[in-house]
Chain A
Amino acid sequence: MRRARLRFSAVFWRRPWFKGLALLTPPVAAFLLIYVGALTVLFISAFWSVDSFTGKLEHIWNIENFRIVFSTTDPTYLRIAGRTIGIAAAVTLTDAVLAFPLAYYMARIARPRTRTLVFVLVLLPLWSSYLVRIYAWRLILSNDGVLNWALGGVGLPHLNIGYTNWAMWIVFSYVWLPFMVLPVYAALERIPDNYLEASGDLGASGFRTFRSIIVPLALPGIVAGSIFTFSLTLGDYVTPLLVGGAGSSFIGNVVYENIGVNANVPFAAAFATVPVIIMAVYLVIARRLGAFEAL
């Protein structure tokens, strides 16, 4: 028995690739079957259609769904896609601007204890449910919510930003902020002090050093963070549902409605390929900018 076990071990010892194979087979199989398989089915079903009278799925190849999505005569879906991408871009930009100084403080200024504290504060919201946090914002931003109560308290006019794109922009920026802070922090933390000293030594003022050394070296971290903030916003449908107004549907909401209420899975599939393609392009660009070395 023992001998058999040893012989079995020896097989792995003699052929290191065997070990890799044994380790990778289950996750790769699961990945191929569930993830890639599902994506393939999604993409294929985008070329089917639903009989509008019977509501039955028809397996006839056509590109009608894509024609509707990209139609310029009725730009409903193009507008929704544009809104989704626009807000995702705005959220990414906002988070980059907000996260950079915070991450810089954490990485290069704070003492170890303060740094731990700030870390906890950044990560703590992730421990609570995402839905709860969005609901909290709904209460803050609604017309008779905390924001307007506070504004009224100090004598400022009411802001009617509840259930608008503004509200979505604010809420998204808030919920995804930690995903930007962490990679930017990691990138900033890795810059050795003596790069900054060398820059100053060579005649660069603090601002010049920031522009020529710190920002370029932190850029991969910013791009890595933007992958999160951009893709998470792009795929979301809960926030638009809860804090968005009547005219603020995202791609995700349309997909959701077509799977549920409208029962038009092929159209949902066609629209869902749009963010997949956008993210694929985005990742290629991010790779060029060195974002994956920063993760």
Chain B
Amino acid sequence: MATHALPETPPRQQSARATPDVRLVGVRKTYGEVVAVARVDLEIAAGEFFTLLGPSGSGKTTTLRLIAGFEQPDAGEVRLAGVDITHRPPYARDVNTVFQDYALFPHMTVGENVGYGLRVKGVPRRERARRVAEALELVRLPNVAARKPVQLSGGQRQRIALARSLVNHPRVLLLDEPLGALDLKLRQEMQIELKRIQQDVGLTFVYVTHDQEEALTMSDRLAVFSEGRIEQLGTPAEVYERPATEFVAGFIGVSNIIERDGRRFTVRPEKIEMRDDSGRSGERGRIRDVVYVGMFTRYIVELDSGGELTVVKQNLESSSREALESRGKRVRLEWRPEHTFEIGTGGRE
């Protein structure tokens, strides 16, 4: 597994409770020949918004399901607030899950759905009604309790699924790509909404997504998964600005890697300055391709000393025509030394 030398900035709540809310120790899960989770060690602090980020098949969802109890690990330990829960069934774990496709019970009303967990635990009717109303208020859908899930829109169902979990006040809330089925606009609204709710209730959130932007926007810390292992773990800024491996560099943002003297470096596309051919310093090259994206333009530059870099420039003064005409032009690329990092190859030799 790749390691990173950076110190982890503890999230603000960590000092409040010393034991981490979730702790995975050497967890492994295979399905026959397929290794879903090779080995994961992880500590998630109380009150933290923690994201498991990775492409499909990277083991992030399996890791979440191991915490929820839907899967049993082949090896390792799952601890919740210091207690070993590895062999407890899902109903005996103080965690709740928001499913990707919501899994609302179609034969129950919204109110019955939200109150299900409380009813199962034998919470008296009156208190149940009060808490259900509270939870619906929290997700800003106070007037839909009598409806059936099919009568709601996708975004509303998503909120109800959230309310159904939050109403139980679990120790940890697990979210499995909860915004995956929503369109872009709604997704961005819900990202802000989710973050607000998490801060309101002060719960530990473990969030699974394959969307790097979502992960960067919402998380206190995130773990980048690849092939059943954690490639890098840190705050969004750390992971974005100092990717530890080639995989992380490529998965979060654009893979901008050049090899010089047998060492590999990465630099983020927006950190590169593109100047005319005249000066001496920097890397020289030729613009091979120009992609106009509206707010900015992406230039792909072929370097004379080998390799390729993507450069992003905001369209502050340049028009789309100017940008597109620069195709084939010779340029010189420069960046500040602190914006480039040497990276490992991925750590799975």
Interface residues of A (CB under 8 A from B): 192, 194-195, 197-205, 208, 212-213, 216-217
Contacts and interface: CB of A to CB of B under 8 A. Distances in A.
B116 A202 contact: yes
B90 interface: yes
Nearest to A208: B120
A199 B165 CA distance: 11
B120 A202 contact: yes
B174 to A, nearest CB: 8
Nearest to B119: A212
A194 B121 CA distance: 20
A216 B107 contact: yes
B106 interface: yes
Contacts of B90: 197, 200-201
B117 A203 contact: yes
Interface residues of B, number: 22
Contacts of A194: 99, 101, 103
Given A197-B70, A197-B90, A198-B97, A203 B103 contact: no
A203 B90 CA distance: 7
Given A213-B105, A216-B107, A203 B99 contact: no
Given A194-B99, A197-B70, A204 B91 contact: yes
A199 B113 CA distance: 10
A150 B179 CA distance: 63
Closest 7 CB pairs of A and B: A202-B117, A198-B103, A200-B90, A194-B103, A203-B120, A204-B120, A201-B97
B127 to A, nearest CB: 15
A198 B164 CA distance: 10
Nearest to B114: A202
A205 B103 contact: no
A40 to B, nearest CB: 39
Contacts, number: 57
B120 A217 contact: no
Given A201-B70, A204-B116, 20 more contacts: A192-B101, A194-B101, A195-B103, A197-B68, A197-B103, A198-B97, A198-B99, A200-B70, A200-B90, A201-B68, A201-B90, A202-B116, A202-B120, A203-B91, A203-B168, A204-B120, A205-B89, A205-B91, A216-B107, A217-B107
A192 B107 CA distance: 13
16 contacts: A194-B101, A195-B105, A199-B116, A200-B70, A201-B70, A201-B90, A201-B96, A201-B97, A202-B120, A203-B91, A203-B120, A203-B168, A204-B116, A212-B116, A213-B105, A217-B106
Interface in B78-136: 89-91, 95-97, 99, 101, 103, 105-107, 116-117, 120-121
A202 B96 contact: yes
A197 B174 CA distance: 13
B346 to A, nearest CB: 33
Which of A201, A203, A204, A212 is the most central at the interface, judged by chain B CB atoms within 10 Å of its CB? A201
A200 B91 contact: yes
Which of A192, A202, A203, A208 counts the most B-chain CB atoms under 10 A from its CB? A202
B48 to A, nearest CB: 21
B143 to A, nearest CB: 23
Interface in B290-347: none
